[in-house]
Structure 1
Amino acid sequence: MPFNHNDFYHRVLLRRVPRGCRTALDVGCGTGRFARRLAHLGIEVDAVDPSAEVIEAALMASRVNPGRREPRFRQADITRLELPKGRYDFISCLASIHHMPFSTVAALRDALAPGGVLVVLGCYPERSRMDWAWSLAAVPVNAGARIAVAVRDRARSVSGGGADASATVQAPVMRPEMPLSEIRREAANLLPGCTIRRLLFWRYLLVFRKSQST
């Protein structure tokens, strides 16, 4: 039954977009759902993903609404790009940082404009008792959410509602290997002043705001 854990947290991430945001970068954009939500707020969005298949799906989905502001989708490996220093007011990374060295956040940090915000919706493996406790707590909520989404989608199909053009394409999946304790240590060094909190559905939220004086 379809239920996307990353999509569930879109609103949480959108609340971190700084006021007056003009430029954004979505790293590991997949089929572009979050990047499009940013663009529809009037933000100029660059969206990158190494998978040609998902970028093609993202482009196809964007063609459904001609005339609306859409992201600039690009197939690229973020670890090989030379990002412009101080360009972006907002950078998002949804369930993709574990596909690359965590140290990549340093390049994302440097690409932030003064006062810019980096948000990472990350995944982590269960290693500690606390990890497993959160994992067990998520199981019944996850089951209920899946049922609710299935009922909603069935109702839409009956009423003739259209499906997302990108729904049948899935971004590549990789199991996370870096435990949350190590993520916290690395983030403290690379993103001083950042905050990290656990979320349900096997996720954590990292938020870093760059100093205005940088």
Structure 2
Amino acid sequence: MPFDHNDHYHRLLLRRLPKEGRKGTREEGRRALDIGCGTGRFARRLTGRGYEVDALDPSAEVIAEAEAMGGGPRYRRADVTATDLPEGHYDVITCLASLHHMPFATVTRLRAALAPGGALLVLGCYAGRTPLDLVAVPANAAARAAVHVADRLRGSPPPPLRPPVRPPDMSLTDIRTEATRLLPGSQVRQLLLWRYLLTYNA
């Protein structure tokens, strides 16, 4: 069924975007970096909010599909762990369900690429079970069924290509510990549907 756990939280992430861009950069617009962009759905939403978006993903296949959809972001096949990022450049950096594909310490590279006042927003996946996950099971089943029925009634096309995935290996406790160590002042909030939201402001 086409229900997407990450797309479900797009609105939450959009509400966490910085309210204003950097001072003195009005003519340049606000800059965003979307890590692990996949087929670009969230990157296009950032473009719609007025950001100049660099969207990176290591998969050539999903980058090709993202480029075919257009919408404004600058797509590039790249591994962020081996890519030089401009220091102090981005007003917002987003990372949706992709941080667990790389060393968690990669967040320090992302932190360095934030402009003063910029925000790092990570919608991540964690390993293991928590009490909230027991609630997620029926909620997930209901949401998937509702989306499936709505799409059939609308005659929607099949969902787009999905990028490669792998299970996370860090527990929520480990993520909170590392976030405190590497991103002082950051916050980690557990979400329904086996996700967490990490926010950090430069």
Quick check: TM above 0.5?
A: yes
Matches within 5 A, 1:31-50: 31-50=39-58
**Which of 50, 56, 63 is the matching residue for 2:64?**
56
More displaced, 19-28 or 31-40? 19-28
Deviations 1:98-140 (A, max 9, x none): 00000000000000000000010010111xxxx3321111000
**Distance in 2 of aligned mates of 1:41 and 1:208:** 20
User: Is the partner of 1:208 in helix, strand or coil?
Assistant: strand
**Distance in 2 of aligned mates of 1:94 and 1:41:** 17
Match of 1:13 in 2: 13
Deviations 1:158-194 (A, max 9, x none): xxx6x48xx3311111000011111111111111000
Match of 1:108 in 2: 110
Match of 2:75 in 1: 73
User: Is the partner of 1:19 in helix, strand or coil?
Assistant: coil
1:156 aligns with 2:154: yes
Matches within 5 A, 1:193-208: 193-208=185-200
Aligned amino acid, residue 155 of structure 1: L
Deviations 1:64-114 (A, max 9, x none): xxxxx5100000000001100000000000000000000000000000000
Matches within 5 A, 1:74-89: 74-89=76-91
**Which contiguous aligned blocks of 4+ residues in structure 1 show a shift greater than 2 angstroms?**
none
Q: Gaps (5+ residues) in structure 2?
A: 22-29
More displaced, 181-190 or 93-102? 181-190
TM normalised by structure 2 equals 0.93
Aligned amino acid, residue 171 of structure 1: P
**Distance in 2 of aligned mates of 1:132 and 1:85:** 37
Match of 2:178 in 1: 186
Aligned amino acid, residue 17 of structure 2: V
Matches within 5 A, 1:82-161: 82-126=84-128, 131-157=129-155
**Distance in 1 of aligned mates of 2:62 and 2:170:** 25
Match of 2:24 in 1: none
CA RMSD of aligned residues (A): 1.2
Percent identity between the two aligned chains: 59
Aligned amino acid, residue 57 of structure 1: E
Alpha-carbon deviation of 1:20?
A: 2.5
Aligned amino acid, residue 16 of structure 2: R
Aligned amino acid, residue 184 of structure 1: R
Alpha-carbon deviation of 1:156?
A: 1.4
Number of residue pairs aligned between Structure 1 and Structure 2: 194
Q: Gaps (5+ residues) in structure 1?
A: 63-68
TM normalised by structure 1 equals 0.88
**Which of 17, 21, 32 is the matching residue for 1:24?**
32
